[in-house]
Amino acid sequence: MLRVAIVGMGPIGNLHADCYQEFALSELVGVCDINKERADAASKRLGVPAFYDAGEMLAQLQPDICGITTGGYEYSSDHYEPTMQAFEAGCNVLGEKPISNEIDKAEEMVALARKKGLRYGVNLNHRFTPLARKAKNWVDEGRLGDLLFINMAMWIKNPVESSPWFHLKALHPHTVDVMRYYCGDITHVQCFAIKGPGRSIWSTAHFNMQFANGVVGGLTGSYDIERGHPMERCEVAGTDGRFVLEDMFDQLTLYPAGSAEKTVITNTAFGPFSEKTFADTFRNRIQRFVEQVFQGVPPKQIDGSGADALAAQKILAAAIESVQEGTVVEVK
């Protein structure tokens, strides 16, 4: 049984805690927040000790896994410090996204995990749904033939205006990760962005991308559209077929090339593809990390790793540079 402690007991930390308590392979042993009320409320609800200092909790509990569900500026500035503390304490870490919008800090976090031989996962939950994995199997089995293009889109309403690039930095770690999941590394980015009606930030954007394997792709995103209908769509096409994945876990369709027949997998209430709420995507992702740590997989083989999260942030940084400079930017 793996012992898990969590730093950052906001709504998301509480969601992570519920998952660890539910799984057979993990046990929640402590929660920490610098906000005493939040730490105490989570401690009472979950029945585990409260801490107000991450270092103290790590020293006392010595957990196998530390969940880092802090937030901060652009939803990420507070992750760095406790993540570094957790690696120094010898814990495997499952952190929240974005890993960090300061690329040098993200690099330090990934480098320290590597140096210590620890497993570092990030909650890139969109790639962990059963339908997303099914689509990945189709790609790996060659059902699409040689990959050609990818079209990705995600749109929600988020009125927060805390920074000019908030939409790109906070929403698109997910979409870019899904694109990398199916098509690999991205080498070049061009991005156009607009400020939606009444907005002062770059709230809607379109990215053009070139992948290392020659695939071309587009990503459209917005913080200007009220949710109600599906909010995410991913289409990947190759010489032998094309799939469309709607809303991460809602419906997956395979359109074989040159055929009028298609395969549709709909998320039903029963069976292996049952996944009905956004919280379910957390369960699938966190469970995968727990299993991989339990099995002792090499750190390099962690799905949705810190390195994957860092790669996504580099692409977003390149996209921002592209908007600012009006150029195509090489991702380094």
Ligand X SMILES: NC(=O)c1ccc[n+]([C@@H]2O[C@H](COP(=O)([O-])OP(=O)(O)OC[C@H]3O[C@@H](n4cnc5c(N)ncnc54)[C@H](O)[C@@H]3O)[C@@H](O)[C@H]2O)c1
Chain residues binding ligand X by CB under 6 A are 7-13, 32-35, 38, 54, 69-71, 75-76, 78, 81-82, 96-97, 123, 125
Shortest distance (Å) from residue 26 CB to ligand X: 18
Distance CA 232, CA 248 (A): 7
Strand-pair category, 241-246 with 232-238: antiparallel
Q: How many CA atoms lie within 13 A of 20 on its CB side?
A: 30
- Any idea what the Cα angle at residue 322 is, between residues 109 and 232, rounded to 5°? 75
CB of 257 closer than 8 Å to CB of 145: yes
**Cα distances (angstroms) measured from residue 180 to each of 26, 116, 173, 190, 214:** 29, 26, 11, 16, 13
Shortest distance (Å) from residue 232 CB to ligand X: 11
In the complex with ligand X, the residue whose CB is nearer, 71 or 256, is: 71
In the complex with ligand X, the residue whose CB is nearer, 30 or 299, is: 30
Shortest distance (Å) from residue 97 CB to ligand X: 5
Q: Which residue is nearest to ligand X (CB)?
A: 10
Enter the tokens of residue 7.
């730093």
In the complex with ligand X, the residue whose CB is nearer, 54 or 132, is: 54
**Residue 240 pairs with which residues in a beta bridge?**
none
Shortest distance (Å) from residue 15 CB to ligand X: 8
In the complex with ligand X, the residue whose CB is nearer, 9 or 265, is: 9
Q: Within 10 A of 115 (CB to CB), how many other CB atoms are there?
A: 9
In the complex with ligand X, the residue whose CB is nearer, 177 or 211, is: 177
Enter the tokens of residue 51.
């801490």
In the complex with ligand X, the residue whose CB is nearer, 4 or 32, is: 32
47 backbone φψ class: left, alpha, beta (φ>0; ψ -120 to 50): left
Biggest alpha carbon–alpha carbon distance for the chain: 62
In the complex with ligand X, the residue whose CB is nearer, 132 or 215, is: 132
Shortest distance (Å) from residue 282 CB to ligand X: 7
In the complex with ligand X, the residue whose CB is nearer, 73 or 239, is: 73
In the complex with ligand X, the residue whose CB is nearer, 267 or 322, is: 267
Complete DSSP assignment for 208-273: EEEETTS-EEEEEEESBS-SSS--EEEEEEETTEEEEEETTTTEEEEEETT-S--EEEE--SSSTT
Shortest distance (Å) from residue 291 CB to ligand X: 18
Complete DSSP assignment for 93-156: EEEPSSS-SSHHHHHHHHHHHHHHT--EEE--GGGGSHHHHHHHHHHHTTTT-SEEEEEEEEE-
Shortest distance (Å) from residue 125 CB to ligand X: 5
Distance, C-alpha 158 to centroid of its chain: 18
Shortest distance (Å) from residue 179 CB to ligand X: 16
